[in-house]
Chain A
Amino acid sequence: MANVQARAVAAPQSFVREKILLGMGLREYVRSCCTKGNAIAAAILIVGVPILIYRFIAGLGATTALSQTAPWGIWIGFDMMTGIALAAGGFTIGSAVQIFGLEDYHPIERPAILTAFLGYVMAVVGLLADLGRPWNIVMALFNYGTASALFEVAWCVMCYTTVLLLEFTVPAFEWLGWKKLHAVMRKALIGLTVLSVMFSTMHQSALGSLFLLAPTKLHPLWYTPFIFVFFFISAIIAGISMVIVESMLSHRVFHSQVAGQHVDVDKLTLGLGKAGALVMFAYFFLKLQGVIDGHAWGYLATGYGAWFLVETVGFVLVPAFLYAYGSRNANVKLVRAAGVMGVLGIILNRLNVSVIAFNWNQPVRYVPSASEVIVSITLVTIGVLLFRWIVNRMPILREDPRFAETHH
């Protein structure tokens, strides 16, 4: 025993101790994990994970409020659709840095790609929870239902998650110190970014195309043949807003990592706010055009019409103006508030299309069960925990000095 301890002290730290346990001993590490936040997360997991397991044993009927008229619930509407929309920061910032050459945004590029990667992973987990026969998901690899928008979603999500994984290997290999592989992946980054924009365009819009085949089921204010364009543009908005919110939280939570850097997050936030203002402004008018094109302006005077205006005026136009005012007057707090509103607006839009305005003309409406809500919260919690685990160990918010980039 004494020998082992002596070795542990004298010899360089083992891989597990250095990389996984953050340089601490096991007992030390466990003790460092006993925080209030972790207690809340643990409580969520202790309740949620068993419910998730139960769902796979007992079936969907036992754990969800899905019905014959409402086959899709919040696991599709929120975990999959909203999760994928909010993970759009990966391709927006990735393309801004790699393709448009806006090197200023490099410091927030890696956290955005990590958010996207984890977002997609958790969206896939949510999808597997929702599928009635999840083991048959591999069928999509061999049976080509190419007339289906869902086929396009499945394949593009599969390909894009692979691209994100490959992009993520760049900081991961830095963490592991695998220099040769890292160099290879680093060179591939521009190609991967082009692919990421291509796949994102396709599946973000395809998620909207999913609803093209239900004109009698989706409320006319939301149903338009252009819904796939709307979903793509709102994905860009989601990406910008989510990156603003995520960088605000990261730089506060992981302050120790970012403290010693040149990064002026405020300036980047203002820049993103400018872009957000312009895109949201255009998107608001796009939505109105969609209503007019469908001859549906009469519905604006109804209850759903009011709800539509809440979504478009309250959560698109208002944050657009807040972005504009905030970025023009260097008011970072206002831009961040607008970012939060933007994120909420996207969540609201996706939920409206999939659950709230869907089946609007049915007598009995879908209301998620408690289990569904708990599982959704659990999946988000797992995503956040993974994010934190990775950021604490890998060079996401800070640079690894061995791989320091030479910026011009």
Chain B
Amino acid sequence: MSIGRRGFIKIAAVTAGAAGAASVSAASPHAEGTDGPSVLVDTTLCVGCRACEAACAEKNELPLPPESDDVMQERRDTAPQVFTVVNRAEKEDGTVRFAKKQCMHCLAPGCASACPVRAMNKTPEGPVVYDPAKCMGCRYCMIACPFDVPKYEYDSWKPRVRKCGFCADRQAKGLKPACTEVCPSGALTFGTRSKMLELAKTRIYTNPGKYVQHVYGEHEAGGTSWLYITDIDLEKLALRTDVPEKDIPSLVSGALSAPPFVMTLWPPLLMGLYAFSRRRDSAKGEGTEHGKEDHHG
């Protein structure tokens, strides 16, 4: 996939800018592990060519997506054999917009926290990956995901959970995820999260009125690796907008901190009640015996 001269200059410019910004951003604090790999999706730049769908299918050895763009007439969702889809929507003035949907690779993923056997796991490098060898198929990760990403192979006798893996193996080799590699229009930009956030905000502020003043994924579910900027309501592009800003695991951690306290407190409490009721019963028993003796005279 040749980038072309324009692409080269673009990338060079971005890298230079990033290098400059890096010295600035080195001073700003980042929580550990939150400056991992990230992708900025600029829906105003997406032309709906669906090269990302094809690249993803090829890399993950999935069936290739249908050639015809007629499929975008309907809203599509990811599926057990489809890790990413591009959806289409129209603005009021008739301009067409597209958006790619895939796993958001949350910073504090609900699916990974939900998995009781860590088949769904957040790697320190960033991607949220799935290991079918550990999976017992409880599908709790599907309940947990606020973006409705994981899909299940219900028709198999040994079903797996299916979702985008952020090309973790490619990233380990220093490569970019397949979809970002092939995007011709620059809609997908791959980089560290802090840089992608800066890029997103820069675009928003330097183009007043063009974008919705919101970076989708900056705070949703506590922050995700995939960030979206757009000039259309993302709900129209099949992305859930009712996602809370609190990360999913923190919703559960309070209740989950109770068991150790129960294990500590219940035994002495219950044994105390037991001893108390025994003492009361034996006192009552003696009393009754006295009574009985009185009866006998």
Partner of A210, one of B140, B142, B158, B277: B140
The tally of residues in A whose CB lies under 8 Å from a CB in B reads: 63
**Bound-state Cα–Cα, A11 to B240, Å:** 76
Kindly identify, within residues 133 to 153 of chain B, every residue whose CB is under 8 Å from any CB belonging to chain A: 133-140, 142-144, 146, 148, 151-153
Tell me whether A132 and B136 are in contact in the complex, defined as CB-CB below 8 angstroms, given that A99-B277, A194-B266, A212-B255 are known contacts. Answer: yes
Beta-carbon contacts of A93-111 to B below 8 Å, as 1s and 0s?
A: 0010011110100000000
Q: Are B137 and A213 in contact (CB under 8 A)?
A: no
Determine whether A31 belongs to the interface, using a CB cutoff of 8 Å to chain B. Answer: no
Of the stretches B7-15, B44-52, B242-250, the one at the interface is B242-250
Of the stretches A112-120, A140-148, A169-177, A344-352, the one at the interface is A140-148
Determine whether A9 belongs to the interface, using a CB cutoff of 8 Å to chain B. Answer: no
Partner of A72, one of B79, B143, B155, B271: B143
Q: Are A59 and B136 in contact (CB under 8 A)?
A: no
Tell me whether A216 and B159 are in contact in the complex, defined as CB-CB below 8 angstroms, given that A132-B139, A136-B135, A148-B115 are known contacts. Answer: no
**Bound-state Cα–Cα, A101 to B276, Å:** 9
Partner of B117, one of A62, A99, A143, A198: A143
Determine whether B219 belongs to the interface, using a CB cutoff of 8 Å to chain A. Answer: no
What residues on A are CB-neighbors of B142 within 8 Å?
68, 71
**Bound-state Cα–Cα, A72 to B154, Å:** 12
Residue of B nearest to A127 (CB): B138
Determine whether A384 belongs to the interface, using a CB cutoff of 8 Å to chain B. Answer: no
Residue of B nearest to A70 (CB): B142
CB distance from A251 to the nearest CB of B (A): 26
Kindly identify, within residues 252 to 293 of chain B, every residue whose CB is under 8 Å from any CB belonging to chain A: 252-256, 258-259, 262-263, 266-267, 270-271, 273-274, 277-278, 280-281, 285
Determine whether A202 belongs to the interface, using a CB cutoff of 8 Å to chain B. Answer: yes
Determine whether B218 belongs to the interface, using a CB cutoff of 8 Å to chain A. Answer: no
CB distance from A63 to the nearest CB of B (A): 10
Residue of A nearest to B240 (CB): A216
Determine whether B116 belongs to the interface, using a CB cutoff of 8 Å to chain A. Answer: yes
Kindly identify, within residues 177 to 217 of chain A, every residue whose CB is under 8 Å from any CB belonging to chain B: 190, 193-194, 197-198, 201-202, 205-206, 209-217
Residue of A nearest to B271 (CB): A194
Q: Are B274 and A98 in contact (CB under 8 A)?
A: yes
Determine whether B251 belongs to the interface, using a CB cutoff of 8 Å to chain A. Answer: yes
What residues on B are CB-neighbors of A225 within 8 Å?
251, 254-255
Tell me whether A145 and B138 are in contact in the complex, defined as CB-CB below 8 angstroms, given that A95-B270, A194-B266 are known contacts. Answer: no
Q: Are B266 and A150 in contact (CB under 8 A)?
A: no
Number of A-B residue pairs with CB-CB distance less than 8 Å in the complex they form: 184
**Bound-state Cα–Cα, A315 to B262, Å:** 30
Residue of B nearest to A354 (CB): B143
Residue of B nearest to A145 (CB): B116
CB distance from A12 to the nearest CB of B (A): 41
Q: Are B155 and A61 in contact (CB under 8 A)?
A: yes
CB distance from A138 to the nearest CB of B (A): 9
Beta-carbon contacts of A227-245 to B below 8 Å, as 1s and 0s?
A: 0100000000000000000
Residue of A nearest to B157 (CB): A59
Tell me whether A57 and B157 are in contact in the complex, defined as CB-CB below 8 angstroms, given that A98-B274, A140-B117, A140-B136 are known contacts. Answer: yes
Partner of A136, one of B114, B137, B248, B278: B137
Residue of B nearest to A99 (CB): B274
Partner of A150, one of B138, B240, B280: B138
What residues on B are CB-neighbors of A205 within 8 Å?
255, 258
Residue of A nearest to B121 (CB): A145
**Bound-state Cα–Cα, A57 to B138, Å:** 18
Q: Are B116 and A132 in contact (CB under 8 A)?
A: no
Q: Are B113 and A147 in contact (CB under 8 A)?
A: yes
Q: Are A69 and B148 in contact (CB under 8 A)?
A: yes
Q: Are B270 and A216 in contact (CB under 8 A)?
A: no
Determine whether A34 belongs to the interface, using a CB cutoff of 8 Å to chain B. Answer: no
Q: Are B136 and A148 in contact (CB under 8 A)?
A: no
Partner of A101, one of B79, B133, B256, B278: B278
Determine whether B156 belongs to the interface, using a CB cutoff of 8 Å to chain A. Answer: yes
Determine whether B118 belongs to the interface, using a CB cutoff of 8 Å to chain A. Answer: yes
**Bound-state Cα–Cα, A146 to B115, Å:** 9
**Bound-state Cα–Cα, A217 to B138, Å:** 18
CB distance from A135 to the nearest CB of B (A): 8
Tell me whether A150 and B114 are in contact in the complex, defined as CB-CB below 8 angstroms, given that A99-B277, A101-B277, A209-B255 are known contacts. Answer: yes
Kindly identify, within residues 115 to 139 of chain B, every residue whose CB is under 8 Å from any CB belonging to chain A: 115-119, 132-139
Q: Are A144 and B248 in contact (CB under 8 A)?
A: no
Q: Are B143 and A213 in contact (CB under 8 A)?
A: yes
CB distance from B239 to the nearest CB of A (A): 13
> Can you report 29 residue pairs joining A to B where beta carbons are below 8 Å apart?
A59-B155, A61-B154, A66-B154, A68-B148, A95-B270, A99-B273, A100-B274, A132-B158, A132-B159, A133-B135, A133-B136, A139-B135, A140-B116, A143-B134, A144-B118, A147-B249, A147-B253, A148-B140, A150-B138, A150-B140, A194-B271, A201-B266, A211-B143, A213-B249, A216-B146, A216-B244, A225-B254, A225-B255, A228-B255
Task: Give the 7 A-B CB pairs with smallest separation, nearest first.
Answer: A132-B137, A101-B277, A61-B154, A136-B136, A151-B116, A71-B139, A147-B113
Q: A193-B270, A228-B255 are in contact. List 15 more A-B contacts (CB 8 A).
A: A68-B142, A132-B158, A136-B136, A139-B134, A145-B115, A147-B112, A147-B256, A149-B256, A194-B274, A197-B266, A205-B258, A209-B252, A213-B249, A214-B146, A216-B244
